[in-house]
């Protein structure tokens, strides 16, 4: 894991991260994509070309193509795309009691947070102005299911959509064992209140929700994280369907002072590193002693992880231990990275909050471990990644609503405003606009 010292090296590290989707695809992945696309499509495509081909095929072929792609890509022969409601009920009944209780608690906390943060319609009778807050009609949620199942993603998307008042929520998640999706994901869908679940994964699932097929309803917006294929599909479909964002591999920045617990810092970094070989775990500290202790803890704790090889690849590939002179500088580096998760593991973290400008989610103090945000804290864990926290926000209720401005002027208010409106219209060369305003002035 690289060690960086000072602002110059930190800036070079940030600059080297590149753009979320335009960054160079690692050669082993590019070679594997070309090999697999030759097998599946008869041509050695790039990853962007593979996604475009999948989108085109699904748009033209609907359900039949979805089944064919699932067979050719995943080796699973589906007879039906939709998971029957009884399978979700059975999955819930089959959960261990402790896991069911944990998912139900997470769903309750996520819902409570979403309801508390929801905007409200308003109207000012004096000015005649206001806003209508209108939920989307139908939303599609994607939950990954490749190397791991993510019931937490189901909870933290479907529950937020429901809290926003979305009328219909459908879920796509990859098939497993030739039958249904992960049982725990199906149980989570039942707890969260998904209307329909489809056992489809990857770019083809995004295409199905965007275009609609014989079985999969066309949605107004697609939400949820996924792999690079999913992110590219969302990017290519933006404009035809709403998307919550284009998400890259997970990332956590831990800002720590000399009093921080090295074991906790290392555990938080490894908790993100084990997600993906492209994950980014970063420690920024003012203490060289802590930096060395964290480095030792990482090596020690890594040995006990079931996903050790993945975590090790992330640490060595994108990870960094950064030494800065002051906490102000350390937080500024955090702002430059604009990470998905920013953890202030420092004494009196509230003292430093005002310096934070860019973060998908902010975690204050050693007790507020990022893992709590992943599962049970309350805010959705779907957060902007790879520097997009500079301009993007987490998956909250705002993602599932439309805000419609309302203008309800009284005749008197219209008369008072008409002259200014006409003047501006004439300046822009729109006499029709000006006359429409002047008529109100005389009404």
Q: Which residues are tagged catalytic?
A: 340-341
Return all residues near 284 (Cβ < 8 A) that are at least 6 apart: 10, 253, 254, 255, 256, 322, 324, 330, 333, 334
- Owner of token pair 């069911």: 100
Task: Give kind and range of the element (H or E) at residue 252.
Answer: strand 251-256
Closest CA to 229 of 423, 415, 46: 46
Residues 33, 153, 141, 221: what is their CA dihedral angle, to the nearest 10 degrees?
A: -100
Q: Are 161 and 62 in contact (CB under 8 A)?
A: no
CB 200 within 8 A of CB 193: no
Contact indicator for 251, 275 with CB cutoff of 8 Å: no
CB 291 within 8 A of CB 3: yes
**Do 335 and 390 form a contact (C-beta atoms < 8 A)?**
no
Report the DSSP pairing between strands 168-172 and 196-198.
parallel
């Amino acid at each position: 894991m690289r060690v960086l010292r000072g602002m110059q090296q930190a800036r070079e590290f940030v600059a080297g991260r590149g753009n979320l989707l335009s960054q160079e695809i690692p050669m082993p992945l590019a070679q594997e994509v070309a090999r697999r696309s030759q097998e599946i499509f008869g041509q050695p495509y790039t990853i962007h070309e593979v996604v475009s081909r999948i989108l085109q095929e699904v748009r033209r072929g609907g359900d039949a193509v979805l089944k064919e792609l699932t067979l050719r890509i995943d080796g699973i022969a589906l007879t039906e795309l939709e998971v029957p409601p009884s399978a979700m009920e059975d999955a819930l009944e089959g959960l261990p009691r402790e896991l069911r209780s944990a998912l139900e608690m997470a769903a309750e906390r996520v819902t409570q947070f979403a309801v508390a943060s929801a905007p409200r319609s308003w109207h000012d009778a004096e000015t005649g102005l206001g806003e209508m807050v209108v939920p989307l009609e139908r939303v599609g949620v994607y939950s990954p299911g490749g190397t791991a199942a993510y019931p937490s993603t189901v909870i933290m998307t479907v529950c937020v959509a429901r809290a926003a008042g979305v009328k219909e929520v459908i879920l796509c998640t990859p098939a497993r064992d030739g039958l249904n999706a992960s049982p725990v994901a199906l149980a989570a869908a039942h707890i969260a209140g998904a209307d329909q679940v489809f056992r489809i994964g990857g770019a083809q699932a995004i295409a199905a929700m965007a275009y609609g097929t014989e079985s999969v309803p066309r949605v107004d917006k697609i939400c949820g994280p996924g792999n690079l294929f999913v992110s590219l599909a969302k990017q290519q479909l933006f404009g035809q369907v709403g998307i919550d964002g284009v998400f890259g591999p997970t990332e956590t920045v831990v800002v720590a002072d000399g009093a921080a617990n090295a074991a906790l810092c290392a555990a938080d970094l490894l908790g993100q590193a084990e997600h993906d070989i492209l994950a980014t775990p970063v420690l920024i500290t003012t203490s060289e002693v802590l930096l060395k202790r964290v480095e030792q803890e990482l090596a020690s704790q890594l040995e006990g992880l079931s996903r050790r090889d993945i975590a090790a690849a992330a640490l060595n590939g994108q990870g960094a231990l950064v030494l800065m002179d002051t906490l102000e500088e350390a937080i500024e580096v955090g702002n430059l990275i604009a990470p998905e998760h920013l953890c202030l593991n420092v004494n009196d973290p509230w003292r430093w909050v005002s310096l934070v400008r860019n973060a998908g989610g902010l975690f204050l103090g050693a007790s507020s471990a990022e893992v709590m945000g992943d599962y049970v804290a309350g805010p959705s864990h779907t957060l902007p990644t790879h520097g997009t926290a500079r301009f993007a926000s987490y998956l909250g209720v705002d993602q599932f609503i439309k805000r419609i401005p309302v203008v309800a002027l009284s005749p008197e208010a219209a008369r008072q405003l008409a002259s200014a409106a006409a003047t501006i219209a004439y300046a822009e060369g729109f006499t029709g606009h000006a006359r429409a305003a002047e008529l109100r002035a005389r009404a």
